[in-house]
Amino acid sequence: MDLSAQKYYSFDTINISWNEIKEINGAMSPPNKIIESYFISGDTLIEDNAYFKIYRKSDNDSNYIGCFREKEKKIFYIGVDYFDFDTDSAILLYDFTKNVNDTVYTGTWHSIIKKKLIRL
C-alpha cells in the first residue's frame, strides 16, 4: 500500500481551532454524524517536555482531551484517542522526517502494516 505526503509546516498553536465529523454507525442507517469542535489553549510540562493542551468544546463548556508537542518534525500526543481510551504514554502521531520510498509503520488493533511513502 502506498501513502501520499505533503509539504511540512510547523504546527500552529496560537488561536487555533478546528472541527471534525465523527460517524456513529451502531444500528443506524445512514450513520449518525456528529461535528466536534477542538481548540488549543495553554501548555503544560510532562516529564520535562512542554506540551500544548487540546480541548473539545461542548454546548456550555470545554473538556481537556490531551496535549501534543513537536520535536524535530515529529508530533507526539498524550491523551484520549479516537475510541475514548487514554494513552498511558506519549505516542508518535506524525513523522514528517520520512522521504520518498521510506517505510512507514502504522499500528492497527492486531498487526503492523508496512507502507511505502510516495509523492503525488
Looking at the 3D structure of the chain, how many domains does it have?
1
> Is pLDDT at 109 greater than 50 in this prediction?
no
- pLDDT at res. 66: 93
Q: Is residue 66 part of a domain?
A: yes
> Domain range spanning residue 79?
10-93
Q: Is residue 101 part of a domain?
A: no
Q: Is residue 28 part of a domain?
A: yes
Please, what is the average pLDDT of the chain?
A: 79
Q: Is residue 67 part of a domain?
A: yes
Q: Is residue 107 part of a domain?
A: no
Tens digit of pLDDT for each residue in 54-64? 999 988 899 99
Tens digit of pLDDT for each residue in 22-45? 877 766 677 788 888 999 999 999
How far apart, in Å, do the first and last CA atoms of the chain sit? 14
**pTM (whole model) above 0.75:** no
CA nearest to 91, candidates 78, 104, 82, 109: 78
